[in-house]
Amino acid sequence: MTRMWPPGGGTRRPLAPRVAAPCEPVDPARIGRRVVRRRAKGMDAGAVAAALEDARFDARQNSRHEDLGDDVPGRAELAEWERLDQMLAAAPAGTVYGPDADDVVRAELAAAAREAELREAARIAARADELQALRELGTLEQIEPRDGDKAVRDELTLRAGGYVQADVDA
């Protein structure tokens, strides 16, 4: 008895090329700001001022160590504590910090939503390009559908001037 390698007799179809999904890059400064906002939630001006002094002390201590000299999250945390201190100092007495009422936080959330929309549009365009290339090669029927392919189909229909292509629709 002879065995064939690979198992299954090598009858597998080749996989369709996959495009790596774009992912959100890590931003240490953004992480530092988010940590401060989470800690500051519900703090009044006095508590924020005390936290700012602690952050300044930590920054002075870190500046004495060579390996901590490039502490991006630490610098972002200090800057965020300073911003919150100034914001609450200008607010009426008794005001407590809440990220929901912070204009800077709302602007960052809106910018992040726009970036997510742009990444999704780029993903749809890349998948549409992939399907178009597979159509030209005559191998479109060999691929497996993916989540979000309805939007890709709509993109291809838009590119074709509103004509729904039967091979893509299938």
| Residues 122 and 154 grouped into a single domain | yes
Q: What is the DSSP string of 23-65?
A: -PPP-HHHHHHHHHHHHHTT--HHHHHHHHHHHHHHHHHHHTS
Shared-domain flag, residues 164 and 126: yes
* Predicted TM-score of the model (pTM): 0.63
Which range marks the domain in which residue 77 is found? 26-100
Say if residue 49 is in the same domain as residue 94.
Answer: yes
Q: Are residues 91 and 35 in the same domain?
A: yes
Q: Is residue 73 part of a domain?
A: yes
pLDDT number for residue 149: 75
Predicted pLDDT at 170? 52
Q: Is residue 35 part of a domain?
A: yes
Are 139 and 169 part of one and the same domain? yes
Is residue 7 in a domain? no
Indicate the number of domains in the chain. Answer: 2
Quote the pLDDT of residue 136: 78
| Residue 30 covered by a domain | yes
Query: Do residues 33 and 94 both lie within one domain?
Result: yes
Q: Give domain status of residue 4, yes or no.
A: no
Residues 79 and 137 in one domain: no
User: pLDDT 10s digit of each residue in the chain, 170 long?
Assistant: 555 555 555 555 555 556 555 566 788 889 999 999 999 999 999 999 999 999 999 888 887 877 666 778 888 999 999 999 999 999 999 999 999 889 999 999 999 899 999 998 898 888 888 878 877 777 767 667 777 777 887 787 777 765 556 555 55
User: CB-based contacts of 125: which residues, under 8 Å, 6+ apart?
Assistant: 155
Q: Are residues 58 and 88 in the same domain?
A: yes
Rounded to the nearest 10°, the torsion over CA 8, 10, 16, 19 is 90
Q: Does 34 lie in the same domain as 95?
A: yes
Domain boundary among 49, 74, 100: 100
pLDDT of the residue at 16: 54
Q: Answer whether residue 157 is part of any domain.
A: yes
